[in-house]
Amino acid sequence: MNDENANCAHDGEEYAQLSLLQLPVEMFLHICSFLDTSTLVHGLRLVCTRFSLILKDADSLWKARIDHIWPNATHSLLRSAKPDKLFWMSSCVAIEKQIALWKQQDSMVKLRKINPQSIRPVLLMHDATACVGATRKILFYSKLPSREECSDEIRDIRGIDSGHYDNICDLTAIDNTIYSCCGDSVKSWMLTNTGLVHQRTYDDIQMLYSRTYVSSCPALFAIGSLFGIYVFDSRSSNKPINKYRPHDTAMTALAMNTEYILSASLDKTVVVWDQRAGRIMKSITIPGERAYPMCVSMRGDNWVCVGDSKAKLHMLDPKNDFELVKSYSTEHTNGITGVCLMHGCLITSSLDGTVRISSLTDPPRPIATL
């Protein structure tokens, strides 16, 4: 009896010494497959050097997770030209985060005191803790409730008369400076803890009450209308540092980064302006009968996505001379008014009254519909 107890105690001692560190890599990865990606990346991977090396080099693990979420889809829209070693890991974290976020539609925040049909441009500021938007000629600012507050409404909305003579068409931001534009001028506003404070008015621009767009990148912003595109340095005077006219018809969208400015128009084209060379680099015609581009989104220097009036998405590749690589039909039933390429998903809005969140795969797969 004593011998049996001694053997049991010895077996228990050996059992107690077993740990994840002693398991074969294949068994360790099998256990990991039952945990969410965020726990693996932000928790288990930081425990020790061995765990970090295994999970860092386990591209097959992260690819398998993505394949499980979106079976039989290729990742041509997901993968950059030269991904680093952490690409698939970070992509998997972003994808799972976005899916979890958009599935929780009951946690979304609603703007109160404002007629939603009158809201045009909206900006999320300070890591999505504040909101700046426009309704007709009024700019409004509000802090967003935190997750801990568990509120589904924004009630503390502060409005200010913009002084524009026409309805505000578009907004953009560089750090804490907001730029509002309409057919009469462009104005800059400083976002403070108490609201918006007017700084400067850019009115030496030919717009003549046409539909106007504004976009920005670090230090620079561009204003576009029927009469041309003006590029400004936010650190210098009111005078544009560049001006050009890419279209003879009304513009429908404007997007920029530090290298290029993309403008879309009713003439069915998207025109690429090379900021460094100071010239028009290329004009891309959107395919489809009576289809014209309505919105443009740029994600780093990897992809450009264009939404058109026939509810199709068109992918341009900046690494390949902005070649039109692929076009996709969507489940929207009317023109696509907005598109946003994010690291973990693709967001589109439409005149059909819906917002659709899709995967960055070939073809895009639906995640949620609002």
Whether 154 is in a domain gets the answer: yes
Whether 238 is in a domain gets the answer: no
Same domain, 188 and 302: no
Same domain, 126 and 214: yes
Same domain, 169 and 252: no
Q: Residue 230 and residue 223: Cα distance in Å, rounded?
A: 5
Range of the domain at 128: 110-221
Q: Residue 247 and residue 77: Cα distance in Å, rounded?
A: 29
Same domain, 252 and 360: yes
Average pLDDT over residues 184-205: 85
Q: Note the pLDDT tens digit of each residue in 293-306.
A: 999 998 767 789 99
Whether 12 is in a domain gets the answer: no
The count of structural domains within the chain is 3
Whether 235 is in a domain gets the answer: no
Whether 229 is in a domain gets the answer: no
**pLDDT band (50, 70, 90) for residue 114:** low
CATH code: domain of residue 310: 2.130.10.10
Query: Smallest Cα–Cα separation from 169: which of 206, 218, 119?
Result: 119
- Residue 316 in contact with residue 298, Cβ under 8 Å? no
Same domain, 213 and 119: yes
Same domain, 120 and 204: yes
Q: What angle do CA 279, 204, 258 make, to 5 degrees?
A: 35
Q: In this predicted structure, which of 43-47, 118-122, 317-321 has the lowest mean pLDDT?
A: 118-122
Residue 74: DSSP 8-state? B
**pLDDT band (50, 70, 90) for residue 63:** confident
Whether 152 is in a domain gets the answer: yes
Q: Residue 123 and residue 65: Cα distance in Å, rounded?
A: 33
Same domain, 256 and 318: yes
